[in-house]
Amino acid sequence: MPLPYYVSPEQMMQDKAEYARKGIAKGKSIIAVEYQGGVLIAAENPSASLNKISEIYDRIAFAGVGKYGEFERLRKEGIRYADLKGYAYGREDVTAKSLANAYSQVIGNIFSMEIKPLEVEILVLEVSQGEAGNEMYRISFDGSIADEKNYATIGGQAEELKLFLRDKFKAGLSLPDALRLATGALEAAASQKVKAENLEVGVLERARGVRKFRRIPLAELRPLMEGEGDGAR
Amino acid sequence: MDTRPTWQDAGSSFFDLVRQQEPALLPQLTAEGVEPREGLPPVPAGTTVLALRYRDGVLIAGDRQATEGYQVASRRIEKVYAADEHSAIAIAGAAGPCIDMARLFQTELAHYEKLEGVSLSLEGKANKLAQMIRGNLPLAMQGLVVIPLFAGYDRSRDEGRIYKYDVAGGRYDETEYYAIGSGGKDARSSMKKLYRPDLTEPEAVRVALEALVDAADEDRGTGGPDFIRRIFPTLKLVTRAGIQEVPEERVAAECEAILNARRALPQG
């Protein structure tokens, strides 16, 4: 019987990480920005039906980049996890923190156990109910989890976007201002104009009823993007 | 969270998900070792809920009283629930399983919508509810009957629709109005005389309340408007624009008007 090849764990992890990074770098990026009334999430996405941003539970939203099939599966599992928990206990017991931890475990396990790691990076976002701040968690392909403040970015150009936002972000933005900040960052990173048709935008609006997530349809997006920063909404 | 690589899609139904992963959260689905009661399961006692179609959609309403035998168990229980933005469910039967079923159904619809990105059709919702009632049959055989009335706005047909059910999960379309519960028959008789197609919204509210007042008059298990404690029936309107509750002040004023009209005719 031939002996299996020996590969050092360091080498194996490095190779997997490189593979995953390459896969993610191919895709477009996503930005989440806090604004006065909640959290805005913007993704460059030419498809109108294959969404990258989605509702998970009352106050929680999800965004994923990388391989569509892989983050879509994570999204669905997240909804199942959240709905089961909310049904077994209470609606306010479903938190972004526990969901992000569950994601971190799953993605981390797949990274170390499976031959092919997941080529995804995801955001789990929660809009705060009252005084406490919003929560933003970024989970990478290896399961590492980071707690972000004010803004969060994922995808191939996450670092460039982050640099842009570090200079431009101000607390207490209005919704149109936050949207323009996000599109500005995407445009700077891609060095070209972003069209409204190629943009997928969702918001977690604190003022909404039980389910805070809402997609911003194209008809509403255009005037928001074009209007001047008067904070009309 | 399922992490296995040989992961099979669990589907888009929350009911099925709970059944597979957390069956303890559902009522016991087998009646093994339990003798079924003699004869047919009893009709739910102590409730009147009704639905009726009108010009803009459908109205669904219910009284507020829960009974334990000959005692009042609660005076302000809620029997009409918004299932989602375009449908509502009103329930007659054993209070515990009823409330659970309404909550499960609400989660089911939201769960599907989130996973699939679109809402179920009204027909789809009605069928799913039928499956859930069928799942409750063993409990029903032991006396814990749950029978809902389901009403919603069918956006593909542009009209309100009403579905009634039997204890075995049979599903029936109702074209104009229907009422269930111990006072259901009285409410139906009342609506039979007052209902006509193409009612306006104020007329529909009036007809529904007349029927509930009649049911409370004839049936001891149904609570009428309570002016001392300010407890009134709950009414929801489901239209193309979505679901909305009729404000309590309006219900109170309407009940007052109905009772005043009856004072002039004490024989009803």
Three-class secondary structure assignment of B46-64? CCCEEEEEECCEEEEEECC
CATH number of the domain enclosing B146: 3.60.20.10
- The secondary structure of residue B205, as a DSSP letter, is H
- Nearest-Cα distance to chain B for A226, in Å, is 28
Q: Any catalytic annotation for residue B234?
A: no
Enter the pTM of the model. Answer: 0.89
The per-residue pLDDT of chain A, averaged, comes to 91
The mean per-residue pLDDT over the stretch B187-203 comes to 96
With beta carbons under 8 A apart, name residues in chain B contacting A124: none
Nearest to A110 among B3, B18, B21 (CB): B3
Domain containing B227 equals 42-264
Using CB atoms, which residue from A76, A86, A87 is nearest to B115? A76
- A95 confidence band (pLDDT: 50, 70, 90): very high
- Chain B residues whose CB is inside 8 A of the A106 CB are 1, 3
Q: Which DSSP state fits A208?
A: S
Contact between chains at B115 and A110 (C-beta distance less than 8 A): no
Interface ipTM = 0.89
Using CA of residue A191, residue A196, residue A197, residue A201, what is the dihedral sign?
positive
User: HSE-up of B16 (CA within 13 Å, CB side)?
Assistant: 10
Instruction: Answer for the pair B61, B51: CB distance below 8 angstroms, yes or no.
Output: yes
Query: How far is it, in rounded angstroms, from Cα B197 to Cα B107?
Result: 33
- pLDDT value for B28: 62
Every domain of chain A and the residues it spans: 23-226
> What three-state secondary structure class fits A84?
helix
Q: Is B84 part of a structural domain of the chain?
A: yes
Torsion of CA B96, B89, A55, A215, to 10 degrees: -160
pLDDT > 90 in chain A, percent: 80
pLDDT recorded at residue B229: 96
- Nearest-CB residue to A87 (from B9, B10, B107): B107
Percentages (nearest 5) of helix, strand, coil residues in chain A: 40, 25, 35
B39 confidence band (pLDDT: 50, 70, 90): low
Contacts of A81 in chain B (CB under 8 A): 1
Checking if the pLDDT of A156 tops 70, the result is yes
Per the structure, the count of domains in chain B is 1
B117 interfacial to chain A (CB closer than 8 Å): yes
Does B189 contact A at CB distance below 8 Å? no
Residue B210 lies in a domain: yes
Q: Does CATH number 3.60.20.10 belong to domain A23-226? A: yes
Residue B223 lies in a domain: yes
CB contact under 8 A, B5 and A83: no
- A64 within 8 A of A71, measured Cβ to Cβ: yes
Which pLDDT value is given to residue B68?
Answer: 83
Residue B46 is predicted with a pLDDT of 76
Chain A residues within 8 Å of chain B (Cβ atoms): 49, 51, 54-56, 73, 76-81, 83-84, 86-88, 102-103, 105-106, 109-110, 114, 211
